[in-house]
């Protein structure tokens, strides 16, 4: 019931941007869109839904040419490519791949929330109300269209991890806040692209893979490659996939067309929240048929992980945003308040929790 109410509220919000598409004659254009994500990923499917809505509302006048899977731009080049006009639009994780240019945007720190829907709505509202993050995109000649926080962080490993001591000496493919946490706890962070990590795992180059959404890991068959799966102390949402458009291109649009892009982004966000939960359910069904051992952490042990790492992670964020004139504590507090608001509207059960419930354990 709460989920339906949450989506209904989003629908009302989206309707505020509604624009009658038949009353305005749009110029024909084809926009180039690039990403490092493959066409099969949930994030890519959301982008396809988003742009299909735009094409429909412009009566076929605005269409899109796609360059998925780093076909045109690698992960580190997507947002710089948008800035320079190499492509019109793109989606990636600039906080991970372009951290010097997008420090403020790295707000989805470990241990804030495990709820991707709440994080999605919170980030959208936070962006609208936070000049520091708006200025960050403007400075990079990008207009932010859509934000999709990735689902909860987990740890896929060849070694059974039950305590922080078990992490010592492990080589873990990881990025962003979880990478900081694992390093503090004694592991070695291997910061290679996710696709490279899968190859490394198959050759014994890493002991574990982290910082990929729970359902994505199942889709890619990690449960067949490793022996153990851990919730990693419920670090939760760790990254936000962002869709941006070249600011000059955006400013060339009519107000009517800008409203259609904004309206369609609201609808795409609703689509993502619904589809992401469905993907988690599918992943749980797959895991139930597999031989992997899911290893929940003792709550007291999970608390020790958080207490040992949280302050250092927050301090690192505060320092990097301070260098660009930002107030880290205020930014984190304002984002967290919004997360708590949306968590109340739409409770979420993580993939591992759903799996354990189906297994009849706790």
pLDDT digits (tens, 9 = 90+) for 39-85: 999 999 999 999 999 999 999 999 999 999 999 999 999 999 999 99
Is the pLDDT assigned to residue 12 strictly greater than 60?
no
One DSSP character per residue, 114-168 reads S-HHHHHHHHHHHHHH-HHHHHHHHHTTEEEEEEEE---B-EEESS---SGGGGT
Which comes out higher in pLDDT, residue 286 or 212? 286
The token pair at 178 is: 């979880």
Distance between CA atoms of residues 126 and 115, nearest Å: 16
Q: What is the pLDDT of residue 325?
A: 95
Least confident of 49-58, 256-265, 338-347, 353-362: 353-362
Helices 351-359 and 255-288, axial angle in degrees (round to 10): 30
Counts of helices then strands in the chain (DSSP H, E): 14, 11
Distance between CA atoms of residues 193 and 209, nearest Å: 11
Q: What value does the mean pLDDT take over residues 242-262?
A: 97
Q: What value does the mean pLDDT take over residues 142-150?
A: 95
Least confident of 53-57, 161-165, 212-216: 212-216
Q: What value does the mean pLDDT take over residues 151-162?
A: 94
The pLDDT-based confidence of 22 (bands split at 50, 70, 90) is: very low
**Residue carrying structure tokens 């949450």:** 6
Q: What is the pLDDT of residue 15?
A: 44
pLDDT in tens, 277-334: 999 999 999 999 999 999 999 999 999 999 999 999 999 999 999 999 999 999 999 9
Q: What value does the mean pLDDT take over residues 175-189?
A: 95
Q: What is the pLDDT of residue 201?
A: 85
Contact between 184 and 308 (Cβ < 8 Å)? yes
Contact between 192 and 225 (Cβ < 8 Å)? no
Q: What is the pLDDT of residue 98?
A: 95
Quote the pTM value. 0.88
Contact between 122 and 338 (Cβ < 8 Å)? yes
């Amino acid at each position: 019931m709460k989920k339906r109410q949450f989506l209904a509220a989003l629908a009302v919000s989206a309707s505020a941007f509604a624009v009658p598409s038949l009353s305005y004659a749009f110029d024909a254009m084809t926009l180039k869109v690039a990403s490092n994500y493959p066409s099969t990923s949930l994030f890519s499917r959301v982008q396809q839904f988003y742009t299909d809505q735009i094409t429909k509302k412009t009566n076929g006048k605005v269409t899109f040419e796609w360059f998925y899977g780093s076909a045109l731009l690698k992960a580190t080049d997507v947002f710089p490519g948008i800035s320079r006009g190499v492509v019109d639009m793109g989606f990636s994780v600039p906080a991970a791949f372009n951290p010097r240019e997008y420090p403020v945007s790295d707000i989805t720190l470990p241990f804030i929330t495990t709820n991707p829907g709440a994080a999605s709505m919170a980030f959208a509202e936070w962006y609208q109300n936070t000049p520091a993050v708006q200025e960050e995109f403007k400075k990079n000649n990008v207009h932010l269209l859509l934000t999709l926080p990735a689902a909860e962080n987990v740890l896929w490993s060849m070694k059974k991890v039950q305590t922080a001591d078990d992490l010592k000496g492990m080589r873990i493919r990881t990025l962003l806040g979880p990478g900081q946490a694992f390093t503090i706890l004694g592991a070695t962070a291997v910061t290679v692209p996710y696709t490279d990590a899968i190859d490394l795992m198959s050759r014994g180059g890493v002991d574990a893979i982290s910082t990929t959404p729970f359902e994505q890991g199942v889709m890619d068959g990690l449960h067949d490659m490793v022996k153990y799966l851990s919730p990693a102390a419920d670090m939760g949402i760790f990254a936000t996939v962002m869709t941006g458009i070249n600011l000059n291109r955006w400013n060339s649009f009519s107000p009517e067309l800008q409203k259609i892009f904004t309206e369609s982004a609201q609808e795409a966000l609703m689509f993502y929240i619904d589809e992401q939960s469905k993907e988690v359910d599918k992943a749980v069904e797959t895991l139930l048929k597999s031989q992997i051992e899911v290893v929940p952490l003792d709550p007291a042990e999970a608390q020790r992980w958080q207490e040992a790492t949280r302050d250092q992670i927050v301090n690192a964020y505060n320092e990097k945003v301070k260098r660009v004139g930002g107030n880290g504590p205020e930014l984190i507090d304002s984002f967290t308040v919004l997360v708590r608001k949306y968590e109340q509207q739409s409770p979420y059960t993580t993939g591992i929790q759903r799996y354990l419930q189906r297994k009849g354990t706790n």
